[in-house]
Structure 1
């Protein structure tokens, strides 16, 4: 029985936004530690696993994505802007920032929640270093110190490692939860992750 769940996600992912708090609560309720593994899906994972950037997908797929987001937002009672002002933007710095938060032993779950909320509810640009610093400061972290760390080779190596581990684990989409060698892709698969956790109880 594993004590941890690997959590692979993109810092701009609307489905990670919809599932994040539920996943964190689920892991806590089963006494599982989360291995936060923010990754660069758009530039580093999709190209290796057959994924397409949003603007490269067919019109039908793009339209259906918006319908699904609206359905899940209503179903979960989680308001969101379906087409936020600052999406898509580059998310590498945000991922490296989260890796730095994690490396410093700080609350990566809270930081991730705040960044996703900034995109999908607050119309903020998380590609802007000032936004990330402000988010960290609001959480009682040293935003400037974390920015310095995020811009380091150590954070870059951490990002590349997360992406390599994601692909090696069979992960191709965000969010993905890996538990005992099994991948659960999407916030709508949390019920299956929960079933796996319960079977190990």
Structure 2
């Protein structure tokens, strides 16, 4: 029986970026299926007591940057600590991934490209033209997918995802859920793999 992993992500989360390639490798090794679920992290924070990065104290902001630099070096994953377009509106890229999933496209690979765009390439993932280019980089019709991403039903689905995230106990990104068991953070991927190996 194939195990399914719920993958709750924010398209602008540096922690999600740091774990993205390793999570894809984990899925390939274990054969687990993934349900990719973009969410509005600011709304999740508001519902669960989290604080957006710009509103944190200087001590917490500086430590977060220190930890990101440490993990980037440790993992060998390039990461720009102060991207040109950050903070950024997460809705366009989140809706793009939802539309991609509905179209049967490889949302996992596309999500990795979106994360790379903001954290390595200094690109604006709130810009529809940028998103068109990312989609077309995989040989798909970027204009058509963006049109679907802009549809009110897709925006509503992002809201439904966010509500489901809160109801599922999600409070940060990335979060992975297997049969109701939560694993929060890219530093929990080893534990997640142990869980999948027992399934």
CA offsets 1:104-133 (integer angstroms, 9 cap, x no match): 000101110111000011010111110001
Which position in structure 2 is the counterpart of 1:118?
A: 117
- Secondary structure of the structure 2 residue equivalent to 1:85: coil
Q: Distance in 2 between matches of 1:34 and 1:51?
A: 26
Deviation at 1:28, TM superposition (A): 2.2
Match of 1:188 in 2: 187
Q: Which runs of 5+ in 2 are unaligned?
A: none
Other structure's SS at 1:123 match = coil
Indicate the residue corresponding to 1:72 in structure 2: 71
Separation of aligned partners in 1, 2:56 and 2:105: 37
Q: Deviations over 1:125-155 (max 9, x none)?
A: 1111100011001111111001110111221
Is residue 55 of structure 1 aligned with residue 54 of structure 2?
Answer: yes
Runs of 4+ in structure 1 off by over 4 angstroms are none
Secondary structure, counterpart of 2:159 in structure 1 = helix
What SS class does the counterpart of residue 109 from structure 2 fall into?
A: helix
- Aligned runs of 1:19-30 on 2, under 5 Å? 19-30=19-30
Deviation at 1:18, TM superposition (A): 0.5
TM-score (norm 2): 0.97
The separation in 2 between residues aligned to 1:192 and 1:164, in whole angstroms, is: 26
Instruction: Write the distance in 2 (CA, Å) between the matches of 1:30 and 1:79.
Output: 26
For residues 41-86 of structure 1, the C-alpha deviation after alignment (integer angstroms, 9 at most, x for no partner) is: 02x2111111111111111110011011001100001111111111
CA 1:146 to 1:19, structure 2 compared with 1: closer, same or farther past 3 Å? Answer: same
